[in-house]
Amino acid sequence: MAPMKLYMTPGSCSTGIHIILEELEEVFEAHIVNLPAGDHFKPDYVAINPKSTIPTLVRGDGTALTEVPAIAWWLAKTHPRARLWPEDTEEECRVIEAMAHIVGTIHGQGFARIFATSSFTRNPADHAAARELGRDIVVKGFAILNDALETRPYLAGDFSVADPILFYVAFWADKTAIPLPDNLAAHYRRMLARPAVQLVLREEGYNPANLGMPSR
C-alpha cells in the first residue's frame, strides 16, 4: 500500500494533522498547498478535494479524507495502540465537542475574520470591525476551553488527537499577540515541549525557541 499523502500549508490548521502524524510516527508524503497563490483552486487539487480546503489526507488506498476533526478521528481510530482517542463515552463526547468548537467557531468564525477579513465583508471600511469581532469570538472561545481544561494537562486528561488541534489555534494566538488564559497557556507550553511538535514546527519553518507565552 502506498504511503499516505498530506496536502498542507505550513502554519495553518493542517499543522494539527501534521503533528498527529508525527506523534504516530506515520510514514507519509507532505505536499505543500500554496494558498496565497491559489493552489487550492487548481484543477489537480480540486480533483483530489473539490472543497478546495486544507488539509487533505490521501490514504494508502488512494481515497481522500478532508476536514480536520474527521482526519484526526480516523487517524486515532486506525492506530488504537497509540491511545490517542478516549475509551470512555463521556470523554469521547467532550473531545468531539472541543474539536468542533475549535475548528468551527474559534477558527472558522474567529481567526478567519482576522486572517481572511474580505471573505466576511468586501467593504474595506468594515474590515476593522470584522477583525475586532473575530478577536472577540476567539477570546470568548478560549475562555470556554480554559474552563474545560481546568487543571488537566490535556483536553481528555491524557494526550489525544484533540490537543494538536487546540495547539494550532493557540499557535495563531501567539503569532497575533492574543493572550491565552492560564490553563490554555500552560497547555500551549506543554505542547511546545513535545518532540513531535518541535519537529513539525521546524519542518514548517518556525523556531520553537521563539514561541511560547510566559506565565502571567
pLDDT of residue 210: 87
CATH T-level assignment (fold) for domain 4-82: Glutaredoxin (3.40.30)
Q: Where are the domains of the chain?
A: 4-82, 89-193
Q: What is the distance between the terminal CA atoms of the chain, rounded to a whole angstrom? A: 49
40's grid cell: 487550492
In degrees and rounded to multiples of 5, residue 22 shows phi and psi of -70, -35
Please report, in tens digits, the pLDDT of each residue of the chain (216 residues total). Answer: 789 999 999 999 999 999 999 999 999 999 999 999 999 999 999 999 999 999 999 999 999 999 999 999 999 999 999 999 999 999 999 999 999 999 999 999 999 999 999 999 999 999 999 999 999 999 999 999 999 999 899 999 999 999 999 999 999 999 999 999 999 999 999 999 999 999 999 999 999 988 985 544
Q: Which residues contact 167 (CB under 8 A, 6 or more apart)?
A: 15, 16, 19, 187, 188, 191, 197
Rounded distance, CA 41 to CA 43, Å? Answer: 6
- Grid coordinates 500549508 are at which residue? 9
CATH 1.20.1050.10 assigned to 89-193: yes
Q: Which residues contact 215 (CB under 8 A, 6 or more apart)?
A: 182, 185, 186
Domain 89-193 in the same topology as domain 4-82: no
Edge to edge, the sheet with strand 28-32 lists: 28-32, 4-8, 56-58, 64-66
In degrees and rounded to multiples of 5, residue 57 shows phi and psi of -110, 115
